[in-house]
Amino acid sequence: MLEAVGYVVLGLFLLLVPGFLFSAVLYPKPTLDAWTRAGMSLGLGIMLLLYVGYFLAKPELRLLDAYPFVLSVLGICAVLGVIAYFRGGLQLFAPHLRRLGSAVSVRRRKKLEGPAPESGKPAEESAPPAAGG
């Protein structure tokens, strides 16, 4: 069961991530809406996977196996990620990362403050003792 879930997650990763990075290279500014970008990512991902499979299946290479295929797709993702970074295409993630960062900082702040005092008992203050007692 877990093996099937792993294959599904890996398949979605292999389909969507290269296509999304390629669309971020082609259209670095947020000119596309979410549905258009998702459809474009799916189509470009399928196209990239077809080309990778075609070149790995050449008789002189004999590399059409799972590990070379996944490693070549990860290499393509790395190259597309670097190009998208320099073109400014990774700014598409900026609003989501800011939202995630603020949520993490609120949780961290609550964890550092400790639990809130109970409502029935007043919080004891650690004031210095009065001088001249």
Confidence check: pLDDT of 133 > 70: no
Does residue 125 lie within any of the structural domains?
no
Is the model more confident about 105 or about 88?
88
Does residue 86 lie within any of the structural domains?
yes
Question: What is the tens place of the pLDDT at every residue in 98-110?
Answer: 776 676 666 666 6
Does residue 44 lie within any of the structural domains?
yes
For the ranges 42-46, 76-80, 117-121, the lowest mean pLDDT is seen at: 117-121
Question: What is the tens place of the pLDDT at every residue in 10-60?
Answer: 888 888 999 999 999 999 888 888 889 889 999 999 999 999 999 988 888
Does residue 24 lie within any of the structural domains?
yes
How much is the pTM? 0.68
Burial class for 99, CB neighbours closer than 10 Å (0-12, 13-18, 19+): exposed
Does residue 59 lie within any of the structural domains?
yes
Would you say 20 and 43 are in contact if contact means Cβ atoms under 8 Å apart?
A: no
Which letter, b or e, does each residue of 111-127 get, where b requires 16 or more Cβ atoms within 10 Å of its Cβ? Answer: eeeeeeeeeeeeeeeee
Does residue 119 lie within any of the structural domains?
no
Number of domains in the chain: 1
Residue numbers of the domain that contains 46: 2-110
Distance in angstroms (rounded) separating the CA atoms of residues 84 and 27:
9
- Structure tokens that stand for 56 in this block: 């790995």
Does residue 10 lie within any of the structural domains?
yes
pLDDT computed for residue 44 by the predictor: 95
